[in-house]
Amino acid sequence: MALKGSEVGIPRDRFPVAEEGEYYWTDLQGMQVVNREGVHLGSVDSLFSNGAQSVLVVRCGDHEGEWLIPFVAAFVDDVDEATRRIRVDWRPEWQ
């Protein structure tokens, strides 16, 4: 009970290697997000779980809102760790 409400962390080099197609949330944060048409939607500000899947919170400096994009194959085409870019099937007008 002494640690209730505390944050617990471990050094990155102690993380298990992620399986193919799996990512640590910390690795996705800050990645640029573009749609299939090449429109830059913003960058991953944070993530959360809605119980069924992880959700990307994408924010853009010139856009006042945010996009909540489910991190599932139906919407996420690929994650390129080398270029730190996520390509999604998402329209800018979808809020």
Residue 12, helix vs strand vs coil: helix
**94 falls in which pLDDT band (50, 70, 90)?**
confident
Other Cβ atoms less than 10 A from the Cβ of 49: the count is 10
Q: What is the pLDDT of residues 38-91, one digit of tens each?
A: 999 999 999 999 999 999 999 987 667 789 999 999 999 999 999 999 999 998
Q: Rounded CA gap, 11 and 9, in Å?
A: 7
pTM of the model: 0.85
Q: Rounded CA gap, 58 and 64, in Å?
A: 11
pLDDT at 95: 67
The H-or-E segment that residue 28 falls in is: helix 25-28
